[in-house]
Structure 1
């Protein structure tokens, strides 16, 4: 079976300005992710390849689903994300961030995989204003409130706090 993300670019390299469209839906297994956060759902890839004098520009998107836990409330998340892709392929690497054109072929698989993995947040949130869990009783503060008294002051700063009281009092 032909690999869908290995593209023959002989014609593109021959004429700068030539374009080619690539649109595929891949199984997660095809992308060889070594990451348990990627959900086993199809990954949709839509790319626009354009030949330039110094290589081939690859623009487009990849849609994949990842799962994880909210870093504040530990709720399970499953998010379908769309990753914007903008990369350059060159026969002779002039740009350190470019990918290599090998034997007049582009292997888009490592580039797509890398862009998807880099787009997954390291500390995901279920929502931007997630209050998280109470540090004392562990109740989810988004669903209900607790009666725990939380002291935000560290007792080791007590001497400095007393000094602030003296400095803030203009009567003395």
Structure 2
């Protein structure tokens, strides 16, 4: 985010009107480009893909609370059968955007900079809070999108919960060939089979003698 011109960010949302006093609300229903760095070669949200945000910013004494749903297109491959997957994934997000200290003091009735200000319960312990920019006039949701989408991506995506995967011997898709199998001898019996063959050969030699 450009701190000098925060409005230049494609993830910047103007919130000056709702930040004016507690009790205000601003609805959001629009697409934003996906930030980079979401996922890996197995599963990801591609950079600049359309991510839909549907929610609202609600103003309280100490800042803005965002509640909403984030829907992103997921590109992945099944971790069992390696089939390509393309689907939309929706997550619900709640995040806190605290007011910057100076403007925060003004909202609380002009307290001096040296006075201590309260914060809402749990703010210090929560990781889901993001700074406002431009003297509390813009909420930039780039980090919010990245953090929440990265956390929501499954470690082992599946095409379906009961995916049978690939045959370890030949790689055939067992979902398409459920009766496929190989007759593989149990190597635990190979030593006994060798001993049996040797004893039979010895017995055959004695009989011929």
TM-score when scaled to structure 1?
0.74
User: C-alpha separation between the residues in 1 aligned to 2:78 and 2:86?
Assistant: 10
Larger radius of gyration: 2
Corresponding residue for 1:115?
A: 148
Task: Tell me the CA shift for residue 17 of structure 1.
Answer: 1.4
SS of aligned partner of 1:125: coil
Question: 1: CA distance between counterparts of 2:65 and 2:171?
Answer: 50
Number of equivalenced pairs: 151
Match of 1:8 in 2: 14
- Inter-partner Cα distance in structure 2 for 1:20 and 1:74: 43
Distance 2:69 2:146 in 1: 12
The alpha carbon displacement at 1:77 in A equals 0.7
Structure 1 alignment gaps of length 5 or more: 156-172
1:17-65 alpha-carbon deviations (Å, 9 max, x no partner): 1100122223x4xx33234632464222222110112321101112211
Distance 1:154 1:130 in 2: 28
C-alpha distance after superposition, 1:121-158 (max 9, x if no partner): 1210000010111222222111102222579x996xxx
Q: Runs of 4+ in structure 1 displaced over 6 angstroms?
A: none
2:168 is the counterpart of 1:135: yes
Q: Secondary structure at the match of 1:10?
A: coil
Q: Does 1:76 align with 2:84?
A: yes
**Cα RMSD (Å) of the superposition?**
2.7
Taking structure 1 as reference, are residues 108 and 150 closer, same or farther at Cα in structure 2, changes over 3 Å only?
farther
Deviations 1:48-94 (CA, angstroms, capped at 9, x unpaired): 11011232110111221111111111111111111211111112674
Q: Distance in 2 between matches of 1:79 and 1:138?
A: 25
* TM-score relative to the length of structure 2: 0.62
For 1:99, what is the secondary structure of its paired residue?
A: coil
**Per the alignment, do residues 136 and 85 of structure 1 end up closer, same or farther by CA in structure 2, a change over 3 Å counting?**
same
In structure 2, the partner of 1:38 is 45
